[in-house]
Structure 1
């Protein structure tokens, strides 16, 4: 196999993305801590974007603790692990998910993928360079936190969507992650979604508070500040818990519930903000 040029997360931020062909948008959906509903949001966002006419793939970039298959009630016979080890082709591993979008699932419990080795970087990059030209949107459902695997996955995206909840621990970890993205990757903008919001206006208030802290304490290498863009709130909704227990997409289980409508609105804002000029 020929060697593919690999950029570090820091270099990717300043030298541009790896040489993807086509107009596909790569967006990392990430979080500072686990348990905030990131994977569930990624899957339903993919369904909402698909309904808007976009060709979408969700790649489970949480290589060691993958659970996108659980959220979607899929039982894959072939995963990214099989592609990386040469046991299967990439086309064999891409599945059609409920909601009409495509998924590329990772195997769970793969200890060898919990560290960012040169081999993992190489394999991951080859997969990305193959799939990005085929889709309008590639959503990278990353792990939580600031491990080297998570940061590498995020570095491959032109847009970062941070999912947080109003809980203090989630916001503290979100701030820490945003700070690392600014310092190590030169990021100047992160989009924020507040999940499990309990009151109208929660997200805007939280975004404003985080922005104030960033303005006060964060100084990036090039002197530019970090801008947080509030993309919307997903309200706390019993239908979400019901859908999770049934292992169904919320947009399929209860398409008219408040949380599903909120995801649809966020998809529309993302379309207006980044997909219109990217895909036109």
Structure 2
């Protein structure tokens, strides 16, 4: 048996313009449905004819496998250690998209080391020529691991709920991304919205606060693109409890239609952020 190697697959020679749009799906706090949004938006983009992969970038507390009811003997952890090739850790998920799962409870990924930085960057680079969209399902918050994963993305999608704590943490996340990563444009989805129109009003209020108090180091204003709302819908809880995609289990429910609308708007978002 050959010895494991830490080398990752080399990236094919391909023009950057022909490679995937990398979208980081993140949130200021946990429990807002970030992974649910990542998985179901991926399924919706796949239904639109795109080649899509979701990489579980929550390196220490991964749960994409739970949401999709997938079990894999090969994870991102194995790729990092050189125990398998990246190709061996790519799996087809329900919904017609691909996934790279991560391990859970791995304390070595609780902080950003040079090794984690190098290997995560190499994995993302290797995926670019193969897909139209690569979604990075990051951890919640603003740890150095989360921020580094987001830094690898062309676009950022912030998921929040109408609750004050979620909105406060979303604002803090956006502020950090604007000041540290010079992000001038970010995308927002409001999940678990009770009434039609509530999400739009919240997004407008958040934009007004950002206009007053947040700018990039160069003084540029921060623009928040509201991609839509996902309503409170009992079908979501049922799908999550069944560990199934909402778009597969309840494709006609209100939340599923909202997710598909978000995916449609994502198609119109420029592949590279300003």
TM-score (norm 1): 0.91
Query: 1: distance between equivalents of 2:134 and 2:187?
Result: 16
Match in the other structure for 1:257 = 253
Gapped regions of structure 2 (runs ≥ 5): 1-5, 9-14
Query: 2: distance between equivalents of 1:21 and 1:146?
Result: 29
Verify the 8 A CA contact 1:21 1:132 in the aligned structure 2: no
What is the deviation of 1:232? Answer: 0.2
Verify the 8 A CA contact 1:192 1:229 in the aligned structure 2: yes
Distance 1:80 1:73, change over 3 A: same
Verify the 8 A CA contact 2:19 2:130 in the aligned structure 1: no
What is the deviation of 1:21? Answer: 7.1
TM-score (norm 2): 0.93
Verify the 8 A CA contact 2:7 2:82 in the aligned structure 1: no
Of stretches 140-149 and 216-225 in structure 1, the one that deviates more from structure 2 is: 216-225
Query: 2: distance between equivalents of 1:139 and 1:247?
Result: 20
SS at match of 1:272: coil
Match in the other structure for 1:45 = 41
Of stretches 185-194 and 199-208 in structure 1, the one that deviates more from structure 2 is: 199-208
Verify the 8 A CA contact 1:63 1:108 in the aligned structure 2: yes
Pairing 1:105-124 to 2, within 5 Å after superposition: 105-124=101-120
Pick from 250, 267, 271 the counterpart of residue 267 of structure 2. 271
What is the deviation of 1:112? Answer: 0.3
Query: 2: distance between equivalents of 1:273 and 1:2?
Result: 34
What is the deviation of 1:212? Answer: 1.1
**Does 1:228 find its partner at 2:231?**
no
Deviations 1:39-94 (A, max 9, x none): 01100000000000000000000000000000000011110000000111101100
Flag as ranges the 4+ runs of structure 1 deviating above 3 A.
19-22
Match in the other structure for 2:3 = none
